[in-house]
Amino acid sequence: MRNRANALAALALLLLLPVEARAQSPTGPRIDLDFLSKGAPGWLPTEATGDATAGVAAAERIIWPIMYIHWQPAPAVKALKPEKANEAIATLWEGLTIDSPIDVKPVRINAHNGFVADTTIQRGEMKTRYHVWLCPESGRLFVTDASMSLMVNAPAEIFGWMNDMVRTVRCHTGAAVETFPTLPRTYEVPNGDIAYAHPETWRPLVGFRMVKRWDDWNHRVDNSEAVTPQRGRDVILSMDPLKRVEVFWEPAKDEPVTWDSVNKRVEDYWKERASDLIIQTRGAKGDVWYVDGMVRNVVGDTAMPPHRMHKWKLWVFRREGTDYLVAARMGGIVLGTRRPGLEFDEVNLTLDQMLQAVRY
């Protein structure tokens, strides 16, 4: 994985090298949202000012989806009735406000009869869809709740991914699960006798223990239950819910580009945006100087998704009489004392791909 990521990162830098036939846009650089949205829907433009001489363009992706899969011993019934499905949903959590009465509708899930219901929770803060079904083969009742925060962007495509994830749940050996190109990874829940598929940049919270309250991430042994094949809960979430890319351009200064000038631009960029700056890597490829690291306390950050540190990368270069600074950053998730995330190589590759979205 590391060799592949390094090779792709090097390719990303090569793609930014000068191209003789490229003509400068009369309005200056722009950010290609279609390019960014491939496999990562939810990007929105946030700034576009200036002209071909000087200006700023920015785009960001702020989403907060989360999906739970619950299972428990099946009730002593031959067929699941709407009342039992409603009861299963209502008793999932303590401390969760369901905004309207649950109205379940019949649906077919992995060759089983089940129910689906849509609602909002926490006084309209999140949109949620529940699926409930009985699996006679394993003797278990399954409930999924897929939620997306409405306090940030909530693209329909991602809600569709979670809906498709339900249809990949292997609730018993040989279950008639479906496959989807947007869900390339499969996760086997440890000690859960259950598996499901998920998007490339989503990860389950490994070692998750069952807590009673919906908003409790303190999974102490005395505060939670371990997962078993008969009763358990798994949670999976997007590891790249907070991303931003920016490009700044201005007439070239009457001085050469050096490491001193690059370092000053990097420091000036972060001085007004964040604190606790950590620089990890510096380098150059062709006419592109790059610096990456971590930062926290970013000015203007949203409360959702919950996060602390950001991984970032900047490109600085001069081309045809114009100085450019291109910045990409990605926020890391924090859930109580848990800090799940992608491997650093994957994060760095994602940042390079984001930087490639600028069209000059």
Give the per-residue pLDDT at 260: 95
Give the per-residue pLDDT at 319: 93
Q: Write the CA distances from 112 to 162, 171, 266, 277, integer angstroms.
A: 18, 10, 56, 52
Give the per-residue pLDDT at 338: 64
Cα atoms found within 13 Å of the Cα of residue 273, Cβ hemisphere only: 15
Tokens standing for residue 138: 């394993």
Tokens standing for residue 148: 């997306």
Q: Domains, the chain, ranges and CATH?
A: 2-62+241-359 (3.40.1000), 65-238 (no CATH)
CA angle (141, 142, 147) in 5-degree steps? 150
CA angle (74, 78, 82) in 5-degree steps? 75
Per-residue pLDDT of the chain (360 residues; tens, 9 = 90+): 444 444 444 444 444 443 332 334 557 899 999 999 999 999 999 999 999 999 999 999 999 999 999 999 999 888 999 999 999 999 998 888 888 888 999 999 999 999 999 999 988 899 999 999 999 999 999 999 999 999 999 999 999 999 999 999 999 999 989 999 999 999 999 999 999 999 999 999 877 666 777 766 665 555 567 889 999 999 999 999 999 999 999 999 999 999 999 999 999 999 888 888 899 999 999 999 999 999 887 877 777 777 778 899 999 999 999 999 999 999 877 766 566 778 888 899 999 999 999 999
* Residue 117 contacts residue 144 (beta carbons within 8 Å): no
Give the per-residue pLDDT at 309: 83
Give the per-residue pLDDT at 224: 60
Give the per-residue pLDDT at 64: 93
What's the pLDDT tens digit per position in 285-317?
A: 999 999 999 988 787 777 777 777 889 999 999
Give the per-residue pLDDT at 12: 47
Q: Write the CA distances from 272 to 251, 276, 302, integer angstroms.
A: 22, 12, 17
Give the per-residue pLDDT at 24: 44
2 phi/psi in degrees, rounded to 5: -65, -45
